[in-house]
C-alpha cells in the first residue's frame, strides 16, 4: 500500500476527469432556471464525499440550496478537528459570447482548465476531498478529525448557511476551519491569506415624478432623479478614493508598523498586476501602498446604475425612478450594520426634498483577520513549503468570504485560508480558469496539512 502523496500522484488523471464532471453541472445559485442543476451539484458533491470514504454524508435542506455535510471522527479524542468549508455554486457565466470555450464544457489548454467555477470554488474545494480520499485509501484513517460543510449559496449571499451556523454549533464544532477559496501570489509563490475584507452592499432607489415626463414640458420645474443620483455618487468619495461618509473611518483599525513592514515585503509585481487589469494606471489613496489599498483599506464602489432611456438614439425624458447598486468593502473593525446606517444618513442629507430615496440592503459581512502565529497557520506554512518548494508569504485579500467572520463569531474558531487560485484566474468573469499544476500541488498541500496539524 502506497502513501497518500504517492497515491494522489498516481491518480491525477482520474481527479481531472472527476473535476470536469463537477464543472459540467451549471450550478449558478442566483439564477432560478439553474435551481435543478444546483441540486444536482449538491448531490454530486455528497456522492464524491461518500466515495472518498467520508461518513455521515448528508444533504441538508434549506429554504434555497442544500448544504452538504460529512465527517470522519475516528482520529481519537486528543486529535484536533478541522472544519473544511467550500462552495459548490458558481457565478453566472454571462456574457456567454466572450467565452472562448463554453463555460460548462471544461476544456484543458496548456496547463489551464477553463470553465465557470474551475477556480472559484469547485476546483479548490475538491482538493480536500481528494486529500482525504488519498489518506483513507492508503492508511484507512485520517491523522485528525475532519468535517466538511459545503454550501450552494456563497455567490448569492450565503443566507442559508448564515442561519444554519448559530443553530448547529455542536455539529460544526472544530478547532480550526480550513478554506480554499482564495488566490496565491503567483504560480510558484504560495501565500497564506490572513485577512479578508468585509462587505456592506446597498441598493438605492431614487424617485422624482410619478411617471416619466417630457423634459421640455416639465424640465426646469421638476427635479430629475438621474441628475440627483450623479450628485450623490459624486459626493460619496473624493478624487483620490477617500470616502466622504462622516464616521466611515472611525472604527478602522490602524495598520501597525509591524503589519505595514510585513505587507511591504510582499513580492507583488505591480507592473504585471497593472498590465493584467488593462487600466492605464493604478489609482487610490496616496498615503497607502498598492498592497495596503487592495487588502487593508476600505472601499466604496458603484456597480450598476439603472435609469432613464438607454436605447438607440435620443429620448427627451425625465425618468420617474432610477436605481444604483453600491458596495463598501470593509476592514476590521468596521461594523456592516453601522456602516449601512452611516451611508443612509449621509445619502439622505444629500437628497433634496424634490426626490424620494429608499434603500434595500444586500450582502453584509464583517471583515476577518486571523492571527498568523497560531499552530494551524504554522502547519499550513510547512505544508505549502513542502508542496511548492517555497515558503509562503502572508497577505491580506481584498475579496470577501462572509462565512469566515461567522465561524469566528458563532463557533469561536479561526480560519486558515489555504488558497490555490491565481490572481489571473478571471473568477466571476468570462474565461475563468484554473492552473492545474496547483490543483495537484494543492492536494499534496492538503495531505501535508492534515498530517502536520495532527502533530500539534
Catalytic option among 71, 151, 153, 154: 154
Beta carbons of 178 and 449 less than 8 angstroms apart: yes
**DSSP reduced 3-state for 360:** strand
Does 365 sit near ligand BES (CB under 6 A)?
yes
89 labelled catalytic: yes
Dist CA 302 CA 169 (whole Å): 36
Number of CB atoms found within 10 A of residue 230's CB: 13
Q: 16: which residues sit within 8 A by CB, 6+ positions away?
A: 108, 113, 436, 439
Q: Which of 73-81, 184-192, 218-226, 392-400 is the region at the interface with ligand BES (rule: CB under 6 A)?
A: 392-400
Residue from 182, 321, 334, 446 that binds ligand BES (CB under 6 A)?
Answer: 182
401 binds ligand BES (CB under 6 A): yes
Using CB under 6 A as the binding rule, the residues of this chain from 128 to 167 that contact ligand BES are 154-155
Q: Which residue is nearest to ligand BES (CB)?
A: 399
Decide which of Zn ion, ligand BES, none touches 81; Cβ closer than 5 to 8 Å per partner kind. Answer: none
222 phi and psi angles, rounded to 5 deg: -125, 135
Binding mask 180-209 for Zn ion (x = CB under 5 A): -x----------------------------
Query: Which residues 6+ apart lie within 8 Å of 333 measured at CB?
Result: 251, 252, 253, 367
If you write DSSP's letter for every residue of 405-436 in order, what string do you get?
HHIIIII---EEE---B-TTS-TTSTT-EEEH
Query: Rounded to 5 degrees, what are φ and ψ at 105?
Result: -120, 90
Least distance (Å) between residue 293 CB and ligand BES: 15
- Find the DSSP H helices in 298-394: 336-350, 375-388
Tell me whether residue 386 or residue 397 sits nearer to Zn ion (CB atom). Answer: 397
- Positive or negative: CA dihedral 290, 262, 265, 441: negative
- The site partner of 402 among Zn ion, ligand BES, none (C-beta below 5 to 8 Å per kind) is ligand BES
Residues within window 115-144 making contact with Zn ion, judged by CB under 5 A? 120-121
Of these residues, 89, 155, 259, 452, which one is catalytic?
89
Stretch that binds ligand BES, among 20-28, 71-79, 374-382, 393-401 (CB under 6 A): 393-401
Binding mask 64-103 for Zn ion (x = CB under 5 A): ----------------------------------------
In angstroms, what is the minimal distance from the CB of 436 to ligand BES? 18
Cell 462587505 found at: 199
CB of residue 157 to Zn ion, shortest distance in Å: 13
In Å, what is the CA distance from 359 to each residue of 88, 204, 325?
A: 31, 5, 10
Distance of closest approach, residue 128 Cβ to ligand BES, in angstroms: 15
Task: Give CA–CA dist 315/320, Å, rounded.
Answer: 14
Catalytic residues: 89, 154
Enumerate binding residues for Zn ion (CB under 5 A).
120-121, 181
Enumerate binding residues for ligand BES (CB under 6 A).
120-121, 154-155, 181-183, 199, 363, 365, 397, 399-402
Amino acid at each position: 500500500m502506497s502513501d497518500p502523496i504517492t497515491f494522489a500522484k498516481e491518480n491525477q488523471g482520474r481527479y481531472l476527469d472527476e473535476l470536469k464532471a463537477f464543472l459540467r453541472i451549471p450550478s449558478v445559485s442566483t439564477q432560478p432556471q439553474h435551481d435543478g442543476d444546483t441540486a444536482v451539484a449538491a448531490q454530486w458533491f455528497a456522492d464524491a464525499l461518500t466515495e472518498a470514504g467520508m461518513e455521515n454524508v448528508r444533504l441538508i435542506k434549506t429554504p434555497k440550496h442544500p448544504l452538504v455535510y460529512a465527517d470522519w471522527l475516528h482520529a481519537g479524542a486528543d486529535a484536533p478537528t478541522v472544519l473544511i468549508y467550500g462552495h459548490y455554486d458558481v457565478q453566472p457565466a454571462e456574457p456567454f459570447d466572450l467565452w472562448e470555450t463554453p463555460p460548462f464544457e471544461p476544456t484543458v489548454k496548456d496547463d489551464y482548465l477553463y470553465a465557470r467555477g474551475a477556480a472559484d470554488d469547485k476546483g479548490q474545494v475538491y482538493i480536500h476531498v481528494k486529500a482525504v480520499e488519498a489518506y483513507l485509501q492508503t492508511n484507512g484513517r485520517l491523522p485528525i478529525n475532519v468535517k466538511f460543510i459545503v454550501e450552494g449559496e456563497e455567490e448569492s449571499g450565503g443566507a442559508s448557511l448564515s442561519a444554519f451556523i448559530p443553530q448547529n454549533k455542536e455539529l460544526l464544532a472544530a478547532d480550526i476551519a480550513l478554506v480554499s477559496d482564495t488566490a496565491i501570489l503567483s504560480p510558484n509563490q504560495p501565500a497564506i491569506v490572513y485577512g479578508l475584507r468585509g462587505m456592506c452592499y446597498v441598493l438605492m432607489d431614487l424617485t422624482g415624478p410619478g411617471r416619466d415626463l417630457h423634459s421640455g414640458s416639465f424640465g426646469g420645474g421638476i427635479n430629475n432623479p438621474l441628475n440627483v443620483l450623479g450628485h450623490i455618487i459624486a459626493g460619496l468619495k473624493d478624487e483620490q478614493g477617500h470616502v466622504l461618509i462622516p464616521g466611515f473611518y472611525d472604527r478602522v483599525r490602524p495598520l501597525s508598523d509591524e503589519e505595514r513592514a510585513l505587507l511591504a515585503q510582499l513580492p507583488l509585481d505591480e507592473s504585471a498586476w497593472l498590465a493584467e487589469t488593462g487600466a492605464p494606471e493604478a489609482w487610490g489613496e496616496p498615503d497607502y501602498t498598492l498592497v495596503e489599498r487592495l487588502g487593508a483599506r476600505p472601499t466604496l464602489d458603484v456597480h450598476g446604475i439603472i435609469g432613464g432611456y438607454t436605447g438607440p438614439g435620443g429620448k427627451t425624458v425625465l425618468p420617474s425612478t432610477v436605481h444604483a447598486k453600491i458596495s463598501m468593502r470593509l476592514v476590521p473593525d468596521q461594523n456592516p450594520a453601522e456602516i449601512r446606517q452611516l451611508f443612509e444618513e449621509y445619502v439622505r442629507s444629500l437628497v433634496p426634498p424634490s426626490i424620494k430615496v429608499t434603500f434595500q440592503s444586500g450582502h453584509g459581512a464583517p471583515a476577518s483577520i486571523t492571527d498568523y502565529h497560531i499552530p494551524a497557520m504554522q502547519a499550513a506554512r510547512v505544508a505549502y513549503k513542502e508542496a511548492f518548494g517555497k515558503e509562503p508569504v502572508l497577505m491580506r485579500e481584498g475579496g470577501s468570504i462572509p462565512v469566515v467572520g461567522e465561524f469566528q463569531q458563532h463557533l469561536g474558531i479561526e480560519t486558515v485560508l489555504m488558497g490555490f487560485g491565481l490572481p489571473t484566474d478571471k473568477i466571476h468573469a468570462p474565461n475563468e480558469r484554473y492552473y492545474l499544476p496547483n490543483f495537484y500541488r494543492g492536494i499534496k498541500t492538503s495531505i501535508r496539512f492534515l498530517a502536520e496539524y495532527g502533530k500539534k
